[in-house]
């Protein structure tokens, strides 16, 4: 399969990831705001956990948005460290990869 066709598939996957992350973030923020309103003076460790979850969702969303922007500018799939093309298999496993050296859970499982 040609790179352009594979990139089209990855674009679709990234776009769907973006929508899912935005939806999750919206729900998390709404839920947290409702809890803060109900318990204005009380903070629990659960609140801190929810804030941390929001941060992780925001970080993932930034990664997805960065990958989509790189596609728009023709820079997707190029290692930010070396300038080399990131292998398509790595991009299929980790569509937000910025480097040929990015950590990938799926690669760890194979070890």
Question: Does the predicted TM-score (pTM) go above 0.75?
Answer: no
Domain holding 73, by residue range, is 3-110
Number of domain units in the chain: 1
Domain containing 23 — which CATH number? Answer: 1.20.120.910
73-86 pLDDT, tens digit each: 999 999 999 999 99
Angstrom distance (rounded) from CA 57 to CA 35: 19
15-46 pLDDT, tens digit each: 999 999 999 999 887 766 655 554 544 556 66
């Amino acid at each position: 399969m040609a790179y352009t066709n594979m990139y089209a598939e990855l674009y679709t996957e990234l776009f769907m990831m973006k929508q899912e992350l935005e939806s999750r973030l919206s729900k998390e923020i709404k839920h947290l705001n409702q809890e803060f309103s109900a318990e204005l003076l009380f903070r629990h460790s659960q609140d801190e956990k929810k804030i941390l979850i929001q941060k992780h969702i925001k970080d993932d969303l930034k990664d997805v948005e960065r990958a989509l922007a790189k596609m728009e500018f023709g820079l997707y799939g190029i290692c930010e460290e070396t300038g080399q093309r990131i292998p398509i298999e790595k991009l299929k496993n980790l569509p937000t990869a910025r480097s040929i050296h990015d950590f990938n859970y799926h690669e760890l499982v194979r070890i």
